[in-house]
C-alpha cells in the first residue's frame, strides 16, 4: 500500500492518529505533499515509516527546503506519480507537471481539501490534511495496485472511507 498525506503543519510531531497512523505504519511507502512546517515533523514521520517521498510546501522552514525538492516523481508498482505541493496556475499547472513527467497521477496538497479529480488529462489527487483540515474533512489517501491500475480511497483518521477511485496505469 502507498499512503498519501499532506499539510501536517506541525512543529515537533507528525500528528498522526487513528487509521492515518496505521496506514503510515503499514505502507510500503509514504508520499507527503508538503507543508510539514518544521523539520522535526519530517524526522518524526521517518520514525514511523523509513520510506518517505516528500516535497516542500509553501510554509516549510529553511532546513526542510534544503532537504526536500519542490517536485518529484515517485514510482510505485509500475505507476508514475508526480508530486508537488501546489501550482500557482492551479490545476492547469498540476496537469502540465503530470504530462511533462509522463505521470499516471499527480499528488498535491495546499488546499487541505481531500479530493480526486479525473476530469482532465492526468488524474489529480489531494489527500487533504489529516492534522489541520481547516473546515474540510480530515483525511489521507491509500493506494494499492490492482489489475485495473491504482485503486484508491480517501479515509478519515477515524477510519471512515468517504471516496473510492481508480487510476489507470499505463504499462510501458
How many helices (DSSP H) and strands (DSSP E) are in the chain? 4, 11
Q: How does residue 158 score in pLDDT terms, banded at 50, 70 and 90?
A: very high
Are the C-beta atoms of 110 and 86 separated by less than 8 Å?
A: yes
CA torsion sign for 54, 65, 99, 130 is: positive
What is the rounded distance in angstroms from the CA atom of residue 102 to the CA atom of residue 68? Answer: 21
102 Rama sector, left if φ>0, alpha if ψ -120 to 50, beta otherwise: left
The H or E element spanning position 138 is: none
Listed by start position, the domains of the chain span 2-167
Rounded CA separation 137/163 (Å): 12
* Number of neighbours of residue 68 by Cβ within 10 angstroms: 21
Query: What confidence tens digit (pLDDT) does each residue in 126-138 have?
Result: 999 999 999 999 9
**In whole angstroms, what is the distance from residue 37 CA to residue 106 CA?**
22
Q: Is the pLDDT score of 89 beyond 70?
A: yes
Confidence bin at 170 (pLDDT 50/70/90): confident
Instruction: Give the gyration radius of the chain's Cα atoms.
Output: 14
Q: CA–CA separation, 87 vs 64, rounded Å?
A: 19
C-alpha cell at 165: 477511485
Sequence-separated (6 or more) residues with CB below 8 Å from residue 40: 10, 11, 12, 13
Fold of domain 2-167? Purple Acid Phosphatase; chain A, domain 2 (3.60.21)
- Digit-coded pLDDT (tens) for 28-76: 999 999 999 999 999 999 999 999 999 999 999 999 999 999 999 999 9
Amino acid at each position: 500500500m502507498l499512503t498519501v498525506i499532506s499539510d501536517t503543519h506541525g512543529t515537533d510531531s507528525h500528528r498522526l492518529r487513528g487509521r492515518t497512523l496505521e496506514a503510515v505504519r503499514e505502507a510500503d511507502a509514504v508520499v507527503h505533499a508538503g507543508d510539514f512546517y518544521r523539520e522535526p515533523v519530517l524526522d518524526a514521520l521517518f520514525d514511523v515509516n523509513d520510506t518517505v517521498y516528500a516535497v516542500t510546501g509553501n510554509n516549510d522552514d529553511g532546513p526542510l527546503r534544503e532537504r526536500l525538492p519542490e517536485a518529484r516523481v515517485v514510482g510505485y508498482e509500475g505507476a508514475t506519480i508526480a508530486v508537488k505541493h501546489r501550482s500557482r496556475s492551479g490545476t492547469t499547472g498540476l496537469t502540465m507537471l503530470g504530462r511533462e513527467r509522463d505521470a499516471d497521477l499527480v499528488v498535491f496538497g495546499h488546499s487541505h481539501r481531500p479530493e480526486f479529480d479525473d476530469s482532465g488529462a492526468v488524474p489529480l489527487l489531494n489527500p487533504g490534511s489529516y492534522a489541520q483540515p481547516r473546515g474540510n474533512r480530515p483525511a489521507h489517501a491509500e493506494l494499492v495496485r490492482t489489475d485495473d491500475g491504482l485503486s484508491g480511497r480517501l479515509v478519515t483518521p477515524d477510519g471512515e472511507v468517504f471516496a473510492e477511485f481508480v487510476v489507470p496505469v499505463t504499462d510501458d
